[in-house]
Amino acid sequence: MCEYFVKADPIQYEQRTRTIRIHGVLTSIRLENMVWDILAEMAEEEQCTTNHLVATFHDEILAHRGEVPNFASFLRVTCMRYLRRKLIAAERALPNAASPALPAATSKIVAMAGKA
């Protein structure tokens, strides 16, 4: 199992800082390249820019929680939840939801996702 993860391109987990304008204030956010890529995919689905999506997330969490304690971690978890939701949707689209073709780990992830 570890071999799959160890062979990941180091560029994916290299961090990159981007500056985003939130309500006229420039804010620097440092995230892994893969996280920026997933945010870009999410933004494309929402038909907006990555910067706009990130600013929207900031506004929404601020409105919901009253503060934004660790925004970079929030963005990472948001990306994981987005991918998990896509996995669940893909699995539900299969003709037989309990397909033996899915690895056991995938079935476990899907089961855990249903609890989130």
With contact defined as beta carbons under 8 Å apart, do 18 and 28 qualify? yes
Determine phi and psi for 15, rounding to 5 degrees. Answer: -90, 150
Determine phi and psi for 31, rounding to 5 degrees. Answer: -140, 160
Please state, rounded to an integer, the average pLDDT across all residues of the chain: 86
With contact defined as beta carbons under 8 Å apart, do 105 and 64 qualify? no
Q: Encode pLDDT of 24-69 as tens digits.
A: 999 999 999 999 999 999 999 999 999 999 999 999 999 999 988 8
| Integer Cα distance of 74 and 71 in angstroms | 5
Once rounded to an integer, what is the mean pLDDT over residues 8-35?
Answer: 92
Asked whether the predicted pLDDT for residue 100 surpasses 60, the reply is: no
Res 11: pLDDT: 86
